[in-house]
Amino acid sequence: MKRFAPIFPHFALGGAQNPHFESLIFSVISSSSSLRHLRQIHALLYRFGLHGSNFLVAKLLRRLSAIGIVPPDHYPSRLFSQVPSPNSFLWTAFIRSHGFSLAGSSLEVYSLMRRQSPLQPPLPFTFTALFKSVQSLSDGIQIHAQAISLGGFDDDLFVLNALIDMYLRCNYLFDARRVFDEMRVRDVLSWTLLIVAYSRNGDMGTAAWLFEQAPAKDMVSWTAMVSGYSQNAHPREALEVFKKMQAAGVELDEVSLVGAISACAQLGTANCASWISGIVDKVGLRCNTLIGSAMIDMYAKCGLIDEAQHVFNKMTDCNVYTYSAMIAGLAANSRAEDAISMFEFMVGCTSVRPNKVTFVGVLTACSHAGLVEEGRRYFSLMKDEYGITAHPDHYTCMVDMLGRAGLVEEALELVHSMPVQPHGAVWGALLGACRIHGKPEIAKIAAEHLFKLEPDGIGNYILLSKIYASAGMWDEVSSVRKIMRGRGLRKNPACSWIESSDGVVHEFFAGDDLHPRSKEINETLEDLLWRLRTVGYVPVLNSIVYDMHDVEKEKVLKGHSEKLALSFGILVTSIGGAIRIVKNLRICEDCHLLMKFASSVIEREIFVRDNLRFHHFRNGACSCRDFW
């Protein structure tokens, strides 16, 4: 016992009779971090006849749980069994210790408590421990029924919040909401649990309503709204909430920052990227691996690939996610050789092992650059060297690569040989290849699978009709359009947006004349078209699949959203400055051709990010080398 003398200097002055003895023991248990030390304290309790103390044994059990000593380890059970008359506090600690273990059953311990100690009523914390340990809805319902049967917990916030959390973990949002609606008193946690749940469920309308109604908001609820809007493709709303979060003086953590960075990446605007970069520097998280990876992705999606490279170079701890973000960014910005070089450096000069996402980036680079043999080698390397099972996303890259290179039949054979079920993107890549190389027969095969997998994916029907139209198969075009009408499908409106020098994002839809400067935009476009025709630009009329007169086709092409955005960019950006456009759909052949001519005629760089990749137009050429 000499080892305890320095800790308990009053042992010699009364030992267990010392009125401060239990509080001293309690304090030492709280500070203990090893099983060896806790066993020594247990021995001390035996020495002074306190091994049956509900208060001290409960504390020992809680501390054992905190350091990971839980069932099926027998020590907590033996410790508990030596207390002759366990009270509700001790039973609750024992229940909680089982809740930390997959092998233990808190519900079984609770049943034992009700049988062996019927005069010891469950405490509110008994039910919070039970609800937190629930692993199935059936167990949760039983515990909920017990709480109702015993009564007295109707207004206990700890119990009710744990009950809401239990239903949410079991994916029963309706029941969680019902508990919330019936609560007479709620605290910030009650509101936050529901806000987070609806955000994760993609129901941002309900999440926003709850957020506005909440009398108090914590960092978690603010972050949930930012992340929820960002993850559900509402970047503007995400940034609005993020700005309000800043104004309210709420602390920014890495989760809220990643949500805001992701929103900036979706918008793809340079000013937004610069703004969020300043905030990251202010809070001192630029070197954070998660933040750094998100910023690399953001800069790449804004077409600022050199800035992305700068962030990467400054990072002190690059992991597989950092490398994967950089490789994917280089690939999307038509820097295939650099993407491959980075991959080779990662596997050859660092201890970082590639994962599934890394290989998606490498294969994408090979696809965009037409590096078929390299792509085949990396696809084999992934399986043979790193033991990574090919995912449908990897097959999508391979099909896309083979299809772009004109090996459409080989791409179809690869799809048929897949050991896993192809998803829509695989067949979509094959359908896109048929569009490039005029393969209506294979296109029909791909489309039939797509119509089953994605019956409401209107882009598949439109792409098939374009393939048929290019082949002059107008009866088939009519058949596809009849199917579309029968399903009530409408084409998603093409939309392009561009950021003006004051940071305002302007949206344009196909044929749009609602912009306040619409007259100037159309005049600028007419002037540009005249200048382009003088140097050889001829509209690509087969970009329009409708059976209409060429004059009408040319009129439709002139109203494409990216052309309107380009004209607006010429008006509002400084002479010689780059023009950056983001589009929600794939850029068409005519707009791609026009951008090439325009970059030469107006002597400016034009960046267009469509839903597939970046196109950097400079001096009459595109970074994709017309291979997209």
3-state secondary structure of 102: coil
Rounded mean pLDDT, 243-255: 94
Contacts of 236 (CB under 8 A, 6+ apart): 263, 267, 505
For residues 441 and 467, state if they share a domain: yes
Question: What amino acid is encoded at 522 in this protein?
Answer: N
Q: Could you tell me which residues are beta bridge partners of residue 607?
A: 580, 616
Domain boundary among 268, 285, 317: 317
Domain boundary among 452, 471, 492: 492
Query: Measured between alpha carbons, how far is residue 221 from residues 28, 190, 196, 235, 248 in Å?
Result: 37, 11, 6, 17, 13
**What is the reported pLDDT for 168?**
96
For residues 561 and 547, state if they share a domain: yes
Going by C-alpha positions, the residue among 292, 314, 386, 374 that lies closest to residue 339 is 374
For residues 210 and 266, state if they share a domain: yes
Confidence label for 371 from pLDDT (cuts 50, 70 and 90): very high
The count of other CB atoms within 10 Å of the CB of residue 601 is: 15
User: What is the domain count for the chain?
Assistant: 4
For residues 302 and 369, state if they share a domain: no
**Residue 219 belongs to some domain of the structure:** yes
- Residue bearing the bigger pLDDT, 567 or 68: 567
For residues 223 and 262, state if they share a domain: yes
Give the integer Cα–Cα distance in Å for 420 and 244. 46
**Residue 180 belongs to some domain of the structure:** no
First to last CA, the chain: 78
For residues 310 and 212, state if they share a domain: yes
Which structural domain range is residue 509 located in? 495-622
Give the least confident one: 511-525, 532-546, 565-579: 532-546
User: For the domain that residue 230 is a member of, what is the CATH number?
Assistant: 1.25.40.10
Rounded mean pLDDT, 441-469: 90
3-state secondary structure of 582: strand
pLDDT tens for 23-35 read 788 888 888 888 8
Helix H, strand E, coil C: the string for 267-298 is HCCHHHHHHHHHHHHHHCCCCCHHHHHHHHHH
For residues 396 and 383, state if they share a domain: no
For residues 480 and 403, state if they share a domain: yes
Cis peptide before 76 (omega within 30 of 0): no
Query: Measured between alpha carbons, how far is residue 436 from residues 200, 260, 405, 443, 543 in Å?
Result: 39, 37, 10, 11, 12
pLDDT tens for 380-437 read 999 999 999 999 999 999 999 999 899 999 999 999 999 999 999 999 999 999 988 9
Query: Measured between alpha carbons, how far is residue 46 from residues 16, 18, 73, 182 in Å?
Result: 11, 16, 21, 48
**Residue 136 belongs to some domain of the structure:** no
DSSP one-letter code for 215: S
**Residue 553 belongs to some domain of the structure:** yes
Confidence label for 13 from pLDDT (cuts 50, 70 and 90): very low
Contacts of 160 (CB under 8 A, 6+ apart): 153, 179, 183, 190
Query: Measured between alpha carbons, how far is residue 281 from residues 148, 234, 271, 286, 297 in Å?
Result: 52, 25, 16, 6, 17
Domain boundary among 457, 492, 527: 492
For residues 412 and 363, state if they share a domain: no
**HSE of 21 in the Cβ direction (CA atoms, 13 Å)?**
19
- Residue bearing the bigger pLDDT, 103 or 403: 403
Going by C-alpha positions, the residue among 317, 321, 245 that lies closest to residue 276 is 245
**Residue 162 belongs to some domain of the structure:** no
For residues 532 and 557, state if they share a domain: yes
The count of other CB atoms within 10 Å of the CB of residue 589 is: 18
For residues 280 and 305, state if they share a domain: yes
**Residue 6 belongs to some domain of the structure:** no
How high is the mean pLDDT of the chain?
89
For residues 193 and 271, state if they share a domain: yes
**Residue 349 belongs to some domain of the structure:** yes
**What is the reported pLDDT for 67?**
84
**Residue 213 belongs to some domain of the structure:** yes
For the record, the structure tokens of 319 come out as: 């992991």
CB 41, CB 7: distance < 8 Å: no
Give the least confident one: 139-148, 411-420, 610-619: 610-619
Q: Is 149 exposed, middle or buried (0-12, 13-18, 19+ CB in 10 A)?
A: exposed
3-state secondary structure of 166: helix
